[in-house]
Chain A
Amino acid sequence: MQQLRRRVGVVVNGSLVGGLEMKLDEWYSVEDIRAGKFVVIEGEKSCFFCMVTDVRLDATNPQVLADPPSEEEDLMRQVLHGTATYGTVCLRPLLMTEKNELAEEHDEPHLVKTIPVHFSVVAEAEEEDVNRIFGSEDADSRYFHIGRPLDMETPICVDLEGFIERSNGIFGKTGTGKTFLTRLVLSGLIHKNRAVNLIYDMHSEYGWQATQETGNGRGSFVKGLKQLFGSKVSIFTLDPESARRRGVQSDFNVKIPYNQITVEDIASLSDELNLNPTAIESAYLIVNKFGREWLSTLLKQDPAEIKDFADHIGAHPESISALHRKLKRLENFNFLQERVADDAVYKILEFIDKGVHIVLEFGQQSSFLCYMLVSNILTRRLHDQYVMKTERYLSSGRPQDKPKQLIITIEEAHKFLNPMAARQTIFGTIAREMRKYFVSLLIVDQRPSSIDDEVMSQVGTRITALLSDEKDINAVLTGVSNASWLRSVLSSLDSKQQALLMGHAVPMPVVIRTRDYDSVFYTALGHVEGEELSQKAQSNIADLFGDR
């Protein structure tokens, strides 16, 4: 049964390319119309689902505007409201469905190819409409409730199947809730078990508890993924000391041997390390001589004997000396060691194969240099392993050989994916290759304009909190066709708990109030604690051993 929708106005003007214009009904306040609101137009043969993009005040007679009624002229104001002066709302039709009631069950919303007839009635969208478009968690486990429309209480869901198929991005100015959005999305992925996550957690915010920056419980602690999902999530750390101080039980201390660092890894850090192209060439000369041990050999050299070393490998002494001086910084990183007992990459793969999600905490080692170095080294090797696994799967064709879909979350992504770095770092490759090898990225960034255009255009789903820089807004809309109208929506977002959702995982762009990350959310994810937890434990014991 179709619910009776609340009328907003009638369509009076418009085009398919430019969008529609609606005259607002006089009893509907223009202040109740927000950019991003979701409305339904019932045309003659189809229903159109639209988003409000702009609101305008209009007058039939310019004289009214030249001589507006004073505050005392109450009657005049009332009379003019909705007649000579009225609100015009610009709408962007996004999806349409046939009105044929018999086919309703099977009729999937599809992209708009036409517009409704003159004076079609525009009404507020109802829960049923939203569910029909965005799916509902009850209907299918592929949907994950991420938030609600601006003025409704109906859940808006992302299609996680669509989400994991491509690389995705979460963007927003600092302080607009990127971390929070990311935590939400990751929770969804873990809860619905759609892909295995590897999170490079620069500021140690995802694994264990973190402080809440906004909302009711500002300053209080929110639960990390490990606390919510227990054994489904493992915490790896680069800085065991810091983990101990914060009371975090880490499952593995990541150590990286020097021989796993390649020149490419160093090259991609040339900005951070202040290396020039000659230094990189010299590094290759060392590799020619010493192979994988190049870095430890170089670092072991006594500065006094650098000249002999340079002569030995046939490089320019000054250049080798500079390289030596600059790479010496790497020795400060405790996690870089000559020899390590457990190979971090194999450990990660082992966990991934078991379907355990990994949060790699950087602890105190949160410099860009460290973050980029480690994530590059690990990801490059993981990617290689995944390529091999995929090839094995392709040759055998056996379902059990199919690698688990892996999503790698990186923060400050523009450092890895700027036009220079995107060609060098492995992340550029992953972003471009997409899902061929079952690895995709979740890019978290506050400066999308610095990310390579080519990478941006491949980003499947974009979840964008407020952006104010024109360049950033343009960048986020790269690769979205006919995007100019989204600009006004994007710049009118609230700075907290609001985001524009667009791309592969949602059938149409939509503005949401993001879901609260609170105890209700924890419960929805099956998290129990306190009294309930002990009861659950009791019932589990009873199930296991029978009632005693």
Chain B
Amino acid sequence: MEDTEIGEVIGSSNTELIAESSLLHNPPPFGSFIKVQAREPIYAVVFNAYTHSMEPNRLAIAYHRSEQELRDEQPQIFELLKTKFEAVIIGYEHEGTIRHHLPPQPPRLHSFVHTCHPMEVRRLTSHLKFFRFLLGVEKAPRAELIAGAIRAAYVVRDCERSFLVQAGKELVKLIGDDYEMLSSILQRIQD
């Protein structure tokens, strides 16, 4: 399943990328780890997703029908909708090792995006330096984003509590002076 693409890059910069989801209404989860397939794969964390009309001037309108009724009666409207997601780049792979800094070039447009394999998530989160990238995101609530990423990594680590503690300690180093944010993140990741 990991091998089928979940989207395609339609906009990129050195720090962020926008991709169109392969399935309508089905972007990768908020805070999950994704990979842009390339010779040197680029890793990113999803921080935003949205669905809207393909044509910029046309807004979707309410039909007051259930989705199934709509699909039966007016299947064409689903063809006119697109789901996109945005992700913040947290590192890339170079000669087989993961680098926890920004890639030299932004992801190429039309590259395929995949969900990270659990092993890749483990490797990515063996160092927690990438929290710094998540803190730089302005378009999403940072506390939620970090908590989401930690939870995603926590799940692939078979819910090892020591990982939560380790992540918390890393956060103290980064946002020790913002005790409120720290405690709100910790509350979110607690079992």
Residues of A near any B CB (own CB < 8 A): 60-61, 63-64, 67, 69, 73, 75-76, 78-80, 82-84
Contacts and interface: CB of A to CB of B under 8 A. Distances in A.
Interface in B105-158: none
A350 B189 CA distance: 85
Contacts of A80: 172
Contacts of A83: 169, 172-173, 176
Contacts of B168: 75-76, 78-79
Contact of A76 (B161, B180, B186): B186
A75 B164 CA distance: 8
B171 interface: yes
Given A75-B164, A75-B186, A63 B179 contact: yes
Nearest to A64: B179
A63 B171 CA distance: 16
A63 B180 CA distance: 9
23 contacts: A61-B176, A61-B179, A63-B180, A67-B179, A69-B183, A73-B186, A75-B161, A75-B165, A75-B186, A75-B189, A76-B168, A76-B183, A78-B165, A79-B169, A79-B182, A79-B186, A80-B172, A82-B169, A83-B172, A83-B173, A84-B172, A84-B176, A84-B179
Interface of B: 161, 164-165, 168-169, 171-173, 176-177, 179-180, 182-183, 186, 189-190
Contact of B177 (A61, A67, A69, A76): A61
Contacts of B189: 75
Main secondary structure of the interface of B (DSSP, over half): helix
Contacts of B186: 73, 75-76, 79
A60 B176 contact: yes
Nearest to B171: A79
Contacts of B182: 79
Nearest to B161: A75
A79 B179 contact: no
Contacts of A78: 165, 168
Nearest to A65: B179
A67 B182 CA distance: 12
Given A64-B179, A79-B165, 10 more contacts: A60-B172, A60-B177, A61-B179, A63-B180, A67-B179, A73-B183, A75-B164, A75-B165, A75-B186, A84-B179
Contacts of A69: 183
B98 to A, nearest CB: 25
B178 to A, nearest CB: 9
A23 to B, nearest CB: 14
B92 to A, nearest CB: 29
Contacts of A82: 169
Pairs A-B, 5 closest by C-beta atoms:
A79-B168, A83-B172, A63-B179, A78-B165, A83-B169
Contacts of B190: 75
A263 B168 CA distance: 81
Nearest to A60: B176
Contacts of A76: 168, 183, 186
B129 to A, nearest CB: 16
Contacts of B177: 60-61
A523 to B, nearest CB: 50
A79 B190 CA distance: 12
A305 to B, nearest CB: 94
B44 to A, nearest CB: 26
B147 to A, nearest CB: 12
Nearest to A62: B179
Contacts of B165: 75, 78-79
B183 to A, nearest CB: 6
Contacts of B169: 79, 82-83
Nearest to A79: B168
Nearest to B162: A78
Nearest to B164: A75
Contacts of A84: 172, 176, 179
Nearest to A80: B172
A61 B168 CA distance: 15
Nearest to B173: A83
Most buried by B among A73, A79, A82: A79
Contacts of B161: 75
Contacts of B183: 69, 73, 76
A84 B168 CA distance: 11
A69 B179 CA distance: 11
A60 B179 CA distance: 11
A67 B184 CA distance: 13
A63 B178 CA distance: 9
Contacts of B173: 83
A85 to B, nearest CB: 9
Q: Which of B173, B177, B183, B190 has the most CB of A within 10 A?
A: B183
A76 B190 CA distance: 9
A162 B163 CA distance: 56
Nearest to A78: B165
Contacts of A64: 179
A124 B164 CA distance: 30
B164 to A, nearest CB: 6
A83 B189 CA distance: 18
A524 B72 CA distance: 99
Nearest to B183: A76
Contacts of B176: 60-61, 83-84
Nearest to B169: A83
B131 to A, nearest CB: 13
Nearest to A72: B190
